[in-house]
Amino acid sequence: MSALLLAVGLLVAAFVGYNIGGSTTGPAFGPAVGAGVIGKVVAAALMSVCFSAGALTVGPAVVETLAGDLLRDPSVFTLRSSAAVLLVIGGALFLGNYAGVPTSTSMTAVGAVAALGFAAGELDRAVLSEIVTWWLVAPVVGFWVAAVVGRYWYPRLLAWLALEERQRDRPLVRLVSSGIVPRFRVAGVDGRRELSGSVAVVAVGCLMAYASGTSNIANAVAPLYATGELRLGALILLGSAAVAVGAFTIARRTLQTLGNDVTALPLPAAIVVAVISSAIVVGLSAIGIPASFVIVATMSIVGLGWGRASRQTLSGAARGGSSSLFDPATTARVIAMQNVVPIVATVGAFVLFEFVPVFGV
């Protein structure tokens, strides 16, 4: 029976990793894809490599935290309860990915684990309160910093970067599959500054993907690791491989949402969004807070689009055109789904552990 539960746990952990790849690739590389710097396949490849690097280096410390600090008694994590928690997390994330909206894996995972701890009477409320406080503050900061930049400083940045306010017709770097061995092809660039800007936005995307690996690998493997049945290294490799599969498949929907649907992102805008969101995420990680970088990046994109649209509407320079910078309907759908998914995970996990006898703790 324990072997069967372990196998189920591994499958569900891989399912969570798959959905993490779908949720987090968009916020990391959506700006670069939306700006036409790289294609979706290249974004998935970079996401896979950088996420794995973060998971293997800093990730183990975050796994130890989530597996031990949020619950006063880690023994609450049994094979049955861990598999159930991961199933709830994976199902909730899949809901967001299916809708094409990247959702916070940290909020979803912590919510499910907190529900388990609450049902068992072992939840450390002080730790949870600190995490939630930062989750509320960080997206607001990202939105308003990006909005201020979009409304007041964006034209100056355009002049300083000497980049045209346009999107590329085709990606600067794309994967060509003709022939036996796929190869990368680099299109021409309009000057050295565009090349530098393209490198910058991809580099910051890689930094965000690395940061995602440091925190989000715990969401896929921490409950299973807490049971003591498997070594952490093997679980991290499993989770990273599953994230790569998600990045190459289901992440295409979230890349489309964040790169094109919420707000048009030419290269200068992509750089602004990437710098703001990555700075906030790295800052949170440095003080030991599980960073909800999906929410921060999304709200930075929304803030920049809103700031640019409000500036042009105010000046009358974009009559009939501000909708290309900011889509309120899509934005409302994104924000709603990003709040619904963690709530579904938290409530679902609590109902499961509190009222279903086979999962009672």
Q: What is the pLDDT along the chain (361 residues), one digit of tens a residue?
A: 588 889 999 999 999 999 899 888 887 887 778 777 888 889 999 999 999 999 999 888 888 878 888 888 888 999 899 999 998 988 888 887 777 666 777 888 889 999 999 998 999 999 899 888 988 899 999 999 999 998 888 888 777 765 555 555 556 665 556 555 555 555 555 556 667 767 877 888 898 899 889 888 988 999 999 998 889 999 999 999 999 999 999 888 767 665 555 445 566 776 787 788 878 877 877 677 777 777 887 788 888 888 888 776 655 544 444 445 556 666 666 667 667 778 888 898 888 888 876 665 6
DSSP 322: G
pLDDT at 266 (0 to 100): 65
Please state the separation of Cα 167 from the chain's center in Å: 23
Nearest CA among 29, 11, 6 for reference residue 90: 11
pLDDT at 320 (0 to 100): 43
> Could you tell me the two tokens for 126?
């002080």
Residue with tokens 């036996």: 180
Report CA-CA distances (Å) from 101 to 25, 66, 240. Answer: 11, 25, 21
Q: Which residues pair with 183 in a beta bridge?
A: 176
pLDDT at 17 (0 to 100): 94
What letters, b where the CB count within 10 A reaches 16 and e where it falls short, cover 119-153?
A: bbebbbeebbeebeebbeebbebbbebbbebbbee
Locate all alpha helices (DSSP H) within 232-327, ordered by sequence.
232-248, 251-256, 267-286, 293-315
Locate all alpha helices (DSSP H) within 35-124, ordered by sequence.
40-57, 59-68, 79-98, 105-120
Query: What gap in Å lies between CA 135 and CA 47, rounded to an integer?
Result: 23
> Could you tell me the two tokens for 8?
């189920």
pLDDT at 322 (0 to 100): 46
Please tell me whether residue 172 adopts helix, strand or coil conformation: coil
Contacts of 77 (CB under 8 A, 6+ apart): 67, 71, 85, 116, 223, 226, 227
Query: What gap in Å lies between CA 95 and CA 108, rounded to an integer?
Result: 11
pLDDT at 94 (0 to 100): 83
Query: What gap in Å lies between CA 256 and CA 270, rounded to an integer?
Result: 14
